[in-house]
Chain A
Amino acid sequence: MAEKVLMKGNEAIAEAAIQAGCRFYFGYPITPQTEIAAYMAKRMPKIGGTFLQAESEVAAINMCIGVASTGKRVMTSSSSPGVSLKAEGISYMAGCDLPALIVNVQRGGPGLGGIQPSQSDYFQATKGGGHGDYRLFVVAPASVQEMVSLTAHAFNVAEKYRVPAMLLADGTLGQMMEPVVIDDITVEEHDKSWALTGTKGERAHNIINSLSMLPEELEQWNIDRYQRYAQIEKNEPMWEEYMMEDAEICVVAFGIASRVSRNAIRAAREKGIRVGMIRPITLWPFPKEMLLASSEKVKAYITVELNMGQMVEDVELATRCRRPVLSANRAGGCIPSPEQVLAQIEAANRLGGEQ
């Protein structure tokens, strides 16, 4: 087994990507994710990989399109405003059916916002961000160890379904250090017959393209893509349950918010409140079936988020509005305290399940 080391979340993402076979990284510095680029700059030249600091985020994502077209594993990373700049390229990637990993270590927004941790790019990550009918496979790690496993997993899923994947973290997870073991990384082999590798005069040209002037053809591309999205929704949802066995109140939180929630749930349990948590690990696909099943026993939900409550509507939809959905949230770079979450758990407990 590999040695256990103390590593920042950002560094762990970078090393995991390398272990997962990524040899191309293009990025542009922005707080709080610059350690990813710094780590890649140090490591890539030593292992025959390519690190390139692009002239902008737009250039970096387009370089990713180029590498992805050849079937090689490629990654870019940024933080919120930088990811907005990449949005056009991400849409093109989705339209070209290209796998790649985009890392967003979120900071407060909108606009230039701030540099402190945030989860306010939830909509952007899960509902689009760029134009057109497309989805990203979105994973949300909650520990440095999970930043390793989900980075590797995201590469595999992206290739399996030929979709861009996003790892959605935040400034806290990027900056914190925890003991981590970098192992158990499986590099899956998926069909790459679509890749641009040179025909050598032996096969027809492959074409990577998102443009069609024929509406019926473009529609068919969308329909085919949505069949793959349906497979992802069926096969790939991931979540963790915490103290849900007898829970009447259910916290729904991902990433750093789920860790703050753990403290609050332990405190609430000491007060005799039956509370647990469903932590979505994939944000798209959202663990809808699991949430719907939980609404048989749960009388109220609380989303805990570092945004204005963006996930509330997804919990309402998943549970078909059968139960009230409250939120304990902070925005702008602030983090909900365990006390704030506990107060909302107590408020939910008083609701008694009345809508």
Chain B
Amino acid sequence: MAQTQMLFAGFGGQGILFSGKFLAYDGLISDKQVSWLPSYGPEMRGGTASCSVVFSDETIGSPIVSEPDILVAMNLPSLDKYEDAVVPGGLIFVDSSLVERKVRRTDVTTYYVPATRLAAEQDMPTLANMILVGKLIRETGVISTDNIDKIIEKVVSARHEALKEQNKKAIAIGLHYE
């Protein structure tokens, strides 16, 4: 059974839940089984936020990702907490402008993207999350690049038309980041 378990983690306010939601909408568009589960409660208010996304060809069992195939860590506490949980051969994406240390695991593939710095340079400081999403799409092909615009239309409300282009731009930065 083809199944991909993803975990996004960082500070509350970094758009962790939104990153997961963006990918989850691909499940809807592509008619894949998908689940999205946020952490909720006090840990979101200033502490760590996380979000589990599962893609599957079959009915999804647990929506709780305890052993991710893909980890996106947007701060140090998240990398510290979840690094060891990643499955051998899994992928870890790190926002290297906020996480100073390297990944210690040697049995996983790691991508370092200074997403927060890149986002600030483009004057869109709240979209570091989407730069990482772009990089994730590039390296995993977990969603088709053809669907990006369609998903943006669904997840960004019409009231925030300007944000649609900004999100697309941030994803493109990630897609082209070497």
Contacts and interface: CB of A to CB of B under 8 A. Distances in A.
A115 B35 contact: no
A31 B40 contact: yes
A244 B62 CA distance: 19
Which bracket fits the contact residues of A? 20 to 34
A260 interface: yes
Contact of A177 (B24, B33, B41): B24
Contacts of B15: none
Contacts of B64: 172, 260, 335
A101 to B, nearest CB: 23
B38 interface: yes
Given A4-B28, A6-B28, A175 B37 contact: yes
Q: Main SS of the interface on chain B?
A: mixed
A31 B41 contact: yes
Interface in B11-48: 21, 24-25, 27-28, 33-38, 40-42
A175 B61 contact: no
B27 A179 contact: yes
A338 B34 contact: no
Contacts of B40: 31-32, 115, 171, 175
A115 B41 contact: yes
Which bracket fits the contact residues of B? 20 to 34
Interface string A229-272: 00000000000000000000000000010011111001000000
Nearest to B25: A6
A179 B61 contact: no
A199 B59 CA distance: 52
Contacts of A261: 61
A139 to B, nearest CB: 19
B63 interface: yes
Contacts of B33: 179
Nearest to A179: B28
A349 interface: no
A338 B41 contact: no
A283 B49 CA distance: 33
B66 interface: yes
Nearest to A3: B28
Given A6-B36, A115-B41, 8 more contacts: A5-B28, A6-B21, A6-B27, A32-B40, A178-B63, A263-B62, A266-B1, A338-B66
7 contacts: A6-B24, A6-B27, A115-B41, A172-B37, A177-B37, A178-B35, A178-B36
Interface of B: 1, 21, 24-25, 27-28, 33-38, 40-42, 59-64, 66
